[in-house]
A and B are shown apart, each in its own frame.
Chain A
Amino acid sequence: MQIAEWIESEILNGHFHSDQKVYSQYQLAEMYTINPATAAKGLNLLVEENILYKKRGLGMFVTGEAREIILNKRKNQTLKHLVQELVLEARRLQISNDDLFAMLREKMAEEGGK
């Protein structure tokens, strides 16, 4: 869900701190021209994952562990998935493990040099 991902990114790059209030479903609906129920689903997803918490009548707030949870999730899901893709694609192209490692190392050196 794009709304949830966007809020996660906003938390990661420091636009929302812990215990800070995030946008309401209506604000999100208005910003993205989407149905408020859809926006609410995105927010509730984050509540389920302990990234946001509800304060009755006040709105949704960022939990203390939000950053950590998002980082872990992205590591375990997104990064793992990308690595899986990388390995699968390497197989398809019949690239040996050594060659793949070499490519990785090269890229890392390049990025590290910056």
Chain B
Amino acid sequence: MKVIESKGITKNYFRKQVLKELTFSIEENKITGLIGRNGAGKTTLLKIIAGFIRETSGKMNVFSETPFNSLNVSVNSIFVDDQMSFPPALQLGELLNEAARFYPNWDDQLARKLFNYFSFDAKGYHNRLSKGKTSTFNMIIGLASRCPLTIFDEPTTGMDEAVRKDFYRALLKDYIDYPRTIILSSHHLDEIEDLLEDVLLIHNGMILLHMPVSDLKEWAIGVKGASEDVLDFTKEREVLYKNSVGMNTLYVVVKNDFSEEALNKAHQLGLELTPVRSSDLFVYLTTETKGGIDDVFNNN
């Protein structure tokens, strides 16, 4: 079953087009990573899915209905980010009580256990928490609510390394016990890729790739060796990344649609063929200006 169906979703903010005709769907009970650079349109897309804002044109369906102004979508989904607002008059312990009243699948035991594990004070206040603690508290609400559609928008902002690891593991364990549709947005693909089943890669408001993580890992190939051999092997292909190493050595990344034979031949020529880490591929695919940061410092 498709939980989310987006058809030609476009969103304009004043004169700027933030999302450009996005068409995709997300299946039930999968963990999908929404990956994109800063300003790619991740948050805007997620807010349209959650029904927080309305699209300019196109059709968004969540649980087969328009999410904007839908009570059904509202009660079955949660949008977690570091801007979640809670009543400032309530203490953290009271916030948990209220969340328990609001979300039908709420697991109070899980919430309280995580709350204690991360050493929160039930008498503390949300607006006095540090950045990392705010994210941690919001994450607890997001997990314990067990919504059929759970959206985490950059959930690890400000969390330290240990808490991030704990969060990923908690998310996975709870997902195994209570499968649900989860979207996780991040610009750190390497950190979350093991958790994901699918990756939705967006750039400048458009979809670059939408595929299983396992396919993404084999999507590109790195070729390294003597410059002329590398250029010959990769000619007529779109070069995603190119880097000269030393005098006559070249490293090039291209889409991997070579035949087994071609790869064997290349290997015998002495070319070094390596898989491309998905996080590196993400950077190559989304680099605006050809070249890199080195060129900024290059005065010639």
| A84 to B267 Cα, complex, angstroms | 10
Q: Which residues of B contact A37 (CB under 8 A)?
A: 30, 197, 212
- A34 contacts B195, C-beta separation under 8 Å: yes
Number of interchain pairs (Cβ within 8 Å)? 36
Please choose the segment from B94-102, B126-134, B152-160, B167-175 that sits at the chain A interface, where 4 or more of its residues have CB less than 8 A away: B167-175
Residue of B176, B195, B268 near A26 (CB, 8 A) is B176
In terms of DSSP, what is the predominant structure of the interface of chain B?
helix
Q: Which residues of B contact A56 (CB under 8 A)?
A: none
- B270 contacts A35, C-beta separation under 8 Å: no
- A33 contacts B194, C-beta separation under 8 Å: yes
| A57 to B268 Cα, complex, angstroms | 46
User: Is A30 interfacial (CB 8 A cutoff)?
Assistant: yes
- A29 contacts B176, C-beta separation under 8 Å: yes
| A1 to B214 Cα, complex, angstroms | 9
User: Is B149 interfacial (CB 8 A cutoff)?
Assistant: no
Residue in A1, A30, A32, A33 whose Cβ sees the most chain B Cβ within 10 Å: A33
Given the known interface contacts A88-B270, A92-B270, the answer about A36 and B176 at a Cβ–Cβ threshold of 8 Å is: yes
| A32 to B213 Cα, complex, angstroms | 16
Map CB proximity to A onto B183-215 as digits: 1 under 8 Å, 0 otherwise. Answer: 000000000001111000000000000001110
- B172 contacts A30, C-beta separation under 8 Å: yes
User: Is A41 interfacial (CB 8 A cutoff)?
Assistant: yes
User: Is B31 interfacial (CB 8 A cutoff)?
Assistant: yes
What bracket does the count of chain B residues touching chain A fall in?
10 to 19
Which residue of A is nearest B177, CB measured? A26
- B176 contacts A41, C-beta separation under 8 Å: no
- B197 contacts A38, C-beta separation under 8 Å: yes
- A41 contacts B214, C-beta separation under 8 Å: yes
| A92 to B269 Cα, complex, angstroms | 11
| A23 to B44 Cα, complex, angstroms | 41
Q: A74-103: which residues lie under 8 A (CB-CB) from chain B?
A: 84, 88, 92
Residue of A35, A41, A84 near B196 (CB, 8 A) is A35
- A33 contacts B197, C-beta separation under 8 Å: no
Q: Which residues of B contact A33 (CB under 8 A)?
A: 168-169, 172, 194-195
A98 → chain B closest CB, angstroms: 23
Given the known interface contacts A41-B214, A88-B270, A92-B270, the answer about A35 and B31 at a Cβ–Cβ threshold of 8 Å is: yes
Residue of B173, B197, B267, B268 near A35 (CB, 8 A) is B197
Q: Contacts A34-B195, A35-B195, A35-B197 known; list 19 others, CB within 8 Å.
A: A26-B176, A29-B176, A30-B173, A32-B194, A33-B168, A33-B169, A33-B194, A33-B195, A34-B194, A35-B31, A35-B172, A35-B213, A36-B176, A37-B30, A37-B197, A37-B212, A38-B197, A84-B267, A88-B268
Chain B residues proximal to chain A, CB less than 8 Å: 30-31, 168-169, 172-173, 176, 194-197, 212-214, 267-268, 270
A-B contact pairs, 26 of them (CB 8 A): A1-B214, A26-B176, A29-B176, A30-B172, A30-B176, A32-B194, A33-B169, A33-B194, A33-B195, A34-B172, A34-B194, A34-B195, A35-B31, A35-B195, A35-B196, A35-B197, A35-B213, A36-B176, A37-B30, A37-B212, A38-B194, A38-B213, A38-B214, A41-B214, A84-B267, A88-B270
